[in-house]
Chain A
């Protein structure tokens, strides 16, 4: 975990409203593992007291990058950064994804820019697998080409049918499962909106396989001190027992079966 002033090396449009922001953070880049995140102090956001967490999309040499689209004042300010600007980066944070189990077929499932949390996993996995990527239209299908270049199979789903399977990404996945897994046991790695995480938790339970879900939540400190971004996690006993886990420090990735879903939480 490091606090570094990082210099923007590249800021480019990816697709639609999505951009990739790359910055040089030698120590953070060197230590980043798949599924970890970086907590960014967005420059020129004077009255703002909180950093903004982003999945680390790529980590290459001394440079890391994030994927984002403008959704609020933080990302709007981020969008104004240019090459050579500096930002304060705190990371790498969180535990990230476990290494895919030997013998299992890694199946990545991404909604929108959730794909950012999954790329390093594919890049560093020992065996190749399948990426399911979904969005409302083709403009939301980010980085699918990156995974194909790694030799991964990519299955796209769009709700408007503009590319790939017409419908939700879980629909595409259901078809794929129905078509026969053979003797392969899938292991799911998921990042996306809360609805997708819950839907994948249901599927993992039905299939009796593991699903690792990366949770995206508003965060305070990012290092486990403020206890704002907590999630109910089941305890082995007694039945119904639970504890709070800190998404920033104990997550952001949890095994689906451990999560106690809270109906108030809409992500």
Chain B
């Protein structure tokens, strides 16, 4: 935030060593690589942009249908389609470097070695502020969720990435764990600088006329308002368990859900599915947080983080 008016709440804070003008990001996979939305909103007003997951090689992703709207959310099984590291750097980094906000690149691999290798490559790419490590995608057969749902495997991936880059690293954890504090601690101990919570929930829908799964991938990930309250609980549990900051996502449709996450203990939030409903959601969330802080006489968003009252 440049030169806030006197008395105006301070939305700025640092997460994983990255200075953010406000705590509102756009979540990986829901915002493409940035140019897709550039005609519609001023990207420079965002806290940060988290681009869609990148792998070393190009990835074709899943067959169609890939998405289904369900009550309170949507199911998707895109399958991490992406142009691969080289094409991403050549085609999108010039645009992304032109932005004045931090860029967080989401990366994924099918093996631990691929994660480390890709992190090392991004280490040499100017303009990248941090890496979000996707160890929780429900839509690929190898890797993805299998890494994230086991604390030991998650730690192995995070350690490999830690050794390969000087960039801040932010593992994105899955929601379907029986022990979120343990998973979050494993991520922190393995060298995470922050933790993203949560990815979409593994889910499934069936067409009862044909008795076939609706998504070509059979299962998908559920996101949107339907998952919000579950995400709040997981964020609250993780925030109590670790010292590193939490970036929370899951069903943010307006300022209220974002504020809930901050109170639960998240230092920043990311808007996902709601980008499809209204591309200006993140901007509305930023202004809503500012208004909430002003109304409640809270000078800084940092004072709101983890301010949950239990008594």
Whether chain B is bound by chain A comes out as: yes
Smallest Cβ distance from A197 to chain B, in angstroms? Answer: 15
Report yes or no: A262 in contact with B29, Cβ–Cβ below 8 A. Answer: no
Report yes or no: A244 in contact with B60, Cβ–Cβ below 8 A. Answer: yes
Q: Which of B93-101, B194-202, B268-276, B292-300 contacts A (4 or more CB under 8 A)?
A: B268-276
Report yes or no: B29 in contact with A265, Cβ–Cβ below 8 A. Answer: no
CA distance A187 to B277 in the complex (A): 37
B1-57 at interface with A (beta carbon < 8 Å): 29-32, 36-37, 39-41, 52
**Given contacts A221-B276, A262-B63, are A50 and B37 in contact (CB under 8 A)?**
no
CA distance A227 to B63 in the complex (A): 11
Q: Which of A1, A41, A47, A224 contacts B72 (CB 8 A)?
A: A47
B44-79 at interface with A (beta carbon < 8 Å): 52, 60-61, 63-69, 71-74, 76, 78
| B residues less than 8 Å from A265 (CB atoms) | 64-65
Report yes or no: B275 in contact with A221, Cβ–Cβ below 8 A. Answer: yes
Report yes or no: A220 in contact with B67, Cβ–Cβ below 8 A. Answer: yes
Report yes or no: A225 in contact with B31, Cβ–Cβ below 8 A. Answer: yes
| B residues less than 8 Å from A90 (CB atoms) | 40, 279
Does A48 count as interface, using CB distance less than 8 angstroms?
yes
B245-291 at interface with A (beta carbon < 8 Å): 253, 273-280
Does B174 count as interface, using CB distance less than 8 angstroms?
no
Does B148 count as interface, using CB distance less than 8 angstroms?
no
| A residues less than 8 Å from B78 (CB atoms) | 226-228
Smallest Cβ distance from B72 to chain A, in angstroms? Answer: 5
* Most A C-beta atoms less than 10 A away, residue of B68, B76, B279: B279
Chain B interface helix/strand/loop/mixed:
loop
A48-62 at interface with B (beta carbon < 8 Å): 48-51
Report yes or no: B81 in contact with A244, Cβ–Cβ below 8 A. Answer: yes
CA distance A262 to B63 in the complex (A): 9
CA distance A220 to B67 in the complex (A): 7
Q: Which residue of A has the minimal Cβ distance to B279? A: A3
Does B241 count as interface, using CB distance less than 8 angstroms?
no
Does A9 count as interface, using CB distance less than 8 angstroms?
no
Report yes or no: A49 in contact with B277, Cβ–Cβ below 8 A. Answer: yes
Q: Which of B30, B67, B72 contacts A225 (CB 8 A)?
A: B30
Does A259 count as interface, using CB distance less than 8 angstroms?
no
Does B216 count as interface, using CB distance less than 8 angstroms?
yes
Smallest Cβ distance from A150 to chain B, in angstroms? Answer: 32
Report yes or no: A249 in contact with B71, Cβ–Cβ below 8 A. Answer: no
Report yes or no: B81 in contact with A227, Cβ–Cβ below 8 A. Answer: yes
Q: Which of A2, A48, A218 contacts B67 (CB 8 A)?
A: A218
B137-167 at interface with A (beta carbon < 8 Å): none
Q: Which residue of A has the minimal Cβ distance to B58? A: A243
Q: A220-B67, A222-B276, A225-B37 are in contact. List 14 more A-B contacts (CB 8 A).
A: A1-B40, A47-B72, A88-B278, A221-B276, A223-B32, A223-B37, A224-B36, A225-B275, A226-B29, A226-B78, A227-B81, A228-B64, A229-B67, A264-B64
